[in-house]
Structure 1
Amino acid sequence: MPLTSLAALPARVPPRGADDAERLDNVSPAGWRSPPPRPVYELLVIGAGPAGLMAARAAAALGVHVALVERHQLGGVSLNDGCIPSKSLIRTGRLLADMRNAVNFGALAPAEFGFDFPAAMRRMRRITARISRTDSAMNLAREGIHLFFGTARFSGADTVDVDGLPLRFRKALIATGSRSALPDIPGLAEAGFLTNETVFDLQVLPHSLLVIGGGPLGCELAQAFARFGSRTLISHSEPLFLPREERDAAQMVSDALARDGVEIHLNSTVTKVWMEGGHKVVELVSDGNTATTRVDDILTGIGRMPAVLGLNLEAAGVAYDAVAGIHVDDFLRTSNPRIYAAGDVCLAHQYTNTAQASARIVVRNALFFGRQRMSTLTIPWCTYTDPEVAHVGLYVKEARQRRIPVKTFTVPMHDVNRAIADGEDDGFVKIHVREGTDKILGATIVARHAGEMINSISLAMAAGIGLGTLANAMHAYPTQGEGIRQAADAYLRSRLATPWSALARRWLRR
């Protein structure tokens, strides 16, 4: 689907109650007074999202003179418009789904139970306000970080202008993150739409909602709003959701959305939007067939683009493009050796944990002559649908493209005792090893708690622990993580078919 420019930076929304006022006071305090600037900063960080905050705090803790520049809100998308608010609403949706399924657990749910959407949004704001305290402007100042609110533009190879205030640096980190990408659909802008930057400002639950895009954000919020009671539709231009994930995992997500009542339109493109009778009318084309539907709101979730515009990178000699973002080497250096980049602005993996890990690399490499490579990281990620889809390492397709022989061990969750007892037996554990060894190449887990389960495999890969060793490690019983041990046991059983095992059996039977 063709894209237009990035979504406009949202204006500061008036506080929605005391909790939202507290969050805004923490992340964007009114009347903030910038400190007198130093003649030169050892590290200047542009962008106070997960990467920028991690780098600034880590460097300041080591006694480095740090300047941190943020033009909108501390915490970035993750705190204010992404991970934290979305997961709080997803948790509410999961509770509603469990209540509707209570009879299967022997509980007598009321015939009618209400849902208070404004109350769920207030809970979300309480959570974001609480978490915002950690990285508040006042806390950063107490740690010795010079915090400047404003728009940063490079004015030279070692200087930045922040709304007319010049700041010099020895090393700089660009961590401006990413912004919502908007589809180029005639009439969409005129009809109005939601993005992740505005959907959490809703005060009234939409009676009907169309989600454009079947990536992680689109699938997560489509399921949540369907569970809230909205008539929810999702349109995706490809034949399966989550196009990066394995087909069986993507199909399970599709099945889960359908069970929750989401109206699914795969291989479909939104070609036109217009207003009619107070509703948004959407034209959908699939396999040459055209259909229309009427909805109250439209949420675009087609992806994100690096936030590089307006930085005047040319003045600093930093190479970039609008799609891939800032060009960096494996040490996260840009074409200007004084300047590094981290997080969504330069990486293909746009996740909070990746942003934070890349920021740690920058602190080591830029300030302490480190030589850590980004390519050495083991990066897990998770889509928080129900069931969740978590992955780490290589997919089978990627391994074969690299001519790496692969053997896969799969355990369905309906063979895991705790998953059966919990009534959460949809999904599987799938672990890939290099054939002939127990070296773990990658894994995909589809389960209700897949995001928690993938961490043990990520740890094993980072520590060089093989699948055979995981089989010998004791796991608490019963847990859903037993699925990982069962996959490891399957690996050990496969070793019994080797010639050496056959010799051992003959020796035992002598």
Structure 2
Amino acid sequence: MAAVEKFDYLIVGGGKGGKSLAMALGPAGKKVALVEEGQIGGTCINVACIPTKTMVASAKLLHHVNHGDQFGLSVKNGGEQIKGVIDRKRRVVKGMVDTHKLLFGSTPNMQFILGIAKFVDHKVVEVSTIDGGTRRLTADRIVINTGSAPMVPNTPGLAGAGYLTNASIMELEELPSHLCIVGGGYIALEFAQIFRRLGSDVSVLLRTDRFLPKEDEDIAAAIKEVLEKEGIRFVSGVDVTSVSRTGKIAKLALKKGDTEETLECSHILVATGRVSNNEKLHPEMTGVRLDKRGYIEVSEYLETSAEDIWAIGDCNGGPHFTHVSWDDYRILRDLFLHNIKRSTRGRLVPYTLFVDPELGRVGLTEQDARKAGREILIAKMPAAKVPRATTAGETRGVLKAVIDKNSKQILGCSIFAHEGGEIMSVVQAGMLGNLTYEQMRDAIWTHPTMAESLNLLLTNIVDG
């Protein structure tokens, strides 16, 4: 049996939070081991945020090329583009992976270990390394950053028929003739628009009758209208009861109430959510408690039930965003290096749905605020009223803000518009600074920019 190697800090998982923490602790003189199963740099740069947004950009450019007449141009695309899109995606990912290899190799006091980790005793991790060896590691403090994985439903016939996940769909080199997407969240919608723009027929299957139920109905309706106009078909309120395949044709048996039908397609993308990725690690072996979904239970300080063990990022069941993992890292960095104890309580977490146009959202929706009994004002206007949107030929969408009627502070916004994520971030900065909507409304924003939309939006109070 291998001898146990001792470190000051052991970080299991090299995603955004884990790698950032390791690269902060090493230069501070701490002896650090960072164990990663195989994706150097983490999920974000390999199979999530970066490659998907790279494909979004390619699909958007192709969309503009195909609609060049709207800009006074006569340009036509030259046929199927999927191989070039995937090649570009691979180049972008490789560049980031290579950068991370250099960063890891140059970080003092840090060992980067590729392999599969599992707890075998209290605070003892055994790593099966990629070269076939075994190492046993322990540390004064351990941080778990194992992320999440695609949730695949146990639908009869699905495994045999073959399916794609958010990772494998980005390795296709042949364009699906008809892509059927099971699920209706942000992963589903981003890939729906990407592949529709690349030339696939696309059907999206939703279990609920309501589209994007976490969004206000008017915002969800605006998004659905844009996607439907691009040719994406939505089938709502259905369960997939079985799947079969004959040659290149997959058949999905659908049930809605007492009605049954069959949908045929060439490829199936499963985008039904994410699940814990803690199964291989066996954190319970070291006293770490899991919730009923398999995520690690943590306090507001990211502490697990085991002393001197923390969990950050997706694996603790919080919002599955890279920027949340980044903030988790900052909380532990401040604790470990500066003895400053910060909490996750009250974090203002934004998110962006990277369809085109983007939906940027932060804070409360109108339905959230009314459910909470808040007295509110609603500001709302179509994106077509923004001069910059007109010059860019990007007039689709709607902008909306929820305002506290008494304090005049903005409680949240939903910006479905060209550069919606960027506009939302400006609003978020105002919320963090406790600015009133009137101060945001009366600020001087550069003309013509999308940020200028806030002058117009916050003048247009439509309810309250």
Question: TM-score w.r.t. structure 2 length?
Answer: 0.93
Alignment partners' CA distance in 2, 1:488 and 1:63: 50
Q: Which residue of 2 aligns with 1:61?
A: 27
Is the CA contact 1:306–1:322 (under 8 Å) kept in the aligned structure 2?
no
Q: Which of 260, 273, 278 does residue 248 from structure 2 map onto?
A: 278
Provide the secondary structure at the position in 2 that maps to 1:409. Answer: strand
Closer, same or farther in 2 for the Cα pair 1:38/1:484, shift >3 Å? Answer: farther
Alignment partners' CA distance in 1, 2:345 and 2:27: 26
- The answer as to 2:428 corresponding to 1:462 is no
Alignment partners' CA distance in 1, 2:319 and 2:29: 30
Q: Which of 141, 163, 166 does residue 193 from structure 1 map onto?
A: 163
Provide the secondary structure at the position in 2 that maps to 1:52. Answer: helix
- Deviations along 1:251-310, whole A, 9 cap, x unmatched? 122112211111211112211111224311111223432221221110001111121112
Q: Which of 344, 362, 366 does residue 392 from structure 1 map onto?
A: 362
Provide the secondary structure at the position in 1 that maps to 2:8. Answer: strand
TM superposition shift of 1:225: 0.5
Amino acid at match of 2:98: R
Is the CA contact 1:240–1:251 (under 8 Å) kept in the aligned structure 2?
no
Provide the secondary structure at the position in 2 that maps to 1:359. Answer: helix
- The answer as to 2:113 corresponding to 1:143 is no
Q: Which residue of 1 aligns with 2:54?
A: 88
Q: Which of 78, 98, 104 does residue 113 from structure 1 map onto?
A: 78
Alignment partners' CA distance in 1, 2:435 and 2:141: 37
Closer, same or farther in 2 for the Cα pair 1:286/1:62, shift >3 Å? Answer: same
Provide the secondary structure at the position in 2 that maps to 1:48. Answer: coil
How many pairs are equivalent? 457
Is the CA contact 2:158–2:244 (under 8 Å) kept in the aligned structure 1?
yes
TM superposition shift of 1:180: 0.3
TM superposition shift of 1:37: 9.6
Q: Which residue of 2 aligns with 1:376?
A: 346
Q: Which of 174, 178, 184 does residue 208 from structure 1 map onto?
A: 178
Alignment partners' CA distance in 2, 1:255 and 1:411: 16
Alignment partners' CA distance in 2, 1:448 and 1:37: 57
Closer, same or farther in 2 for the Cα pair 1:102/1:281, shift >3 Å? Answer: same
Is the CA contact 1:59–1:66 (under 8 Å) kept in the aligned structure 2?
yes
Gapped runs of 5+ residues in structure 1? 1-35, 498-510
TM superposition shift of 1:108: 1.9
Please, which moves more after superposition, 78-87 or 463-472? 463-472
Alignment partners' CA distance in 2, 1:131 and 1:398: 38
Is the CA contact 1:306–1:324 (under 8 Å) kept in the aligned structure 2?
yes
Q: Which of 296, 303, 322 does residue 352 from structure 1 map onto?
A: 322
Amino acid at match of 2:78: F
Q: Which residue of 1 aligns with 2:404?
A: 434
Amino acid at match of 1:374: T
Amino acid at match of 1:129: K
Is the CA contact 1:331–1:365 (under 8 Å) kept in the aligned structure 2?
no
- The answer as to 2:12 corresponding to 1:43 is no
TM superposition shift of 1:371: 1.8
Provide the secondary structure at the position in 2 that maps to 1:469. Answer: helix
Alignment partners' CA distance in 2, 1:370 and 1:404: 34
Amino acid at match of 1:448: H
Amino acid at match of 1:395: T
Is the CA contact 1:209–1:232 (under 8 Å) kept in the aligned structure 2?
yes
TM superposition shift of 1:204: 1.0
Q: Which residue of 1 aligns with 2:122?
A: 157
TM superposition shift of 1:424: 1.3
Alignment partners' CA distance in 2, 1:184 and 1:243: 24
Is the CA contact 2:249–2:266 (under 8 Å) kept in the aligned structure 1?
yes
- Deviations along 1:350-378, whole A, 9 cap, x unmatched? 01111111111122234533221112322
TM superposition shift of 1:219: 0.6
- Equivalent residue runs for 1:289-304 within 5 Å: 289-304=259-274
Provide the secondary structure at the position in 2 that maps to 1:238. Answer: coil
Provide the secondary structure at the position in 2 that maps to 1:471. Answer: helix
Closer, same or farther in 2 for the Cα pair 1:105/1:158, shift >3 Å? Answer: same
Is the CA contact 1:428–1:445 (under 8 Å) kept in the aligned structure 2?
yes
- Deviations along 1:290-333, whole A, 9 cap, x unmatched? 22122111000111112111222222111113526110111111
Please, which moves more after superposition, 238-247 or 342-351? 238-247
Instruction: Report % sequence identity.
Output: 28
Is the CA contact 2:312–2:329 (under 8 Å) kept in the aligned structure 1?
yes
Closer, same or farther in 2 for the Cα pair 1:205/1:358, shift >3 Å? Answer: same
CA RMSD of aligned residues (A): 2.2
Alignment partners' CA distance in 2, 1:436 and 1:47: 45
Closer, same or farther in 2 for the Cα pair 1:58/1:358, shift >3 Å? Answer: same
Alignment partners' CA distance in 2, 1:78 and 1:212: 22
Alignment partners' CA distance in 2, 1:172 and 1:75: 19
- The answer as to 2:392 corresponding to 1:422 is yes
Q: Which residue of 2 aligns with 1:9?
A: none
Please, which moves more after superposition, 364-373 or 454-463? 364-373
Gapped runs of 5+ residues in structure 2? 129-133
Is the CA contact 2:216–2:367 (under 8 Å) kept in the aligned structure 1?
no
- Deviations along 1:16-50, whole A, 9 cap, x unmatched? xxxxxxxxxxxxxxxxxxxx999532221110011
Provide the secondary structure at the position in 2 that maps to 1:67. Answer: strand
Is the CA contact 1:308–1:322 (under 8 Å) kept in the aligned structure 2?
no
TM superposition shift of 1:461: 1.9
TM superposition shift of 1:97: 1.6
TM superposition shift of 1:232: 1.3
- Deviations along 1:453-483, whole A, 9 cap, x unmatched? 1111122222323322222321110112212
TM superposition shift of 1:422: 2.1
Amino acid at match of 2:107: E
Q: Which residue of 1 aligns with 2:131?
A: none
- The answer as to 2:190 corresponding to 1:220 is yes
Alignment partners' CA distance in 2, 1:64 and 1:254: 51
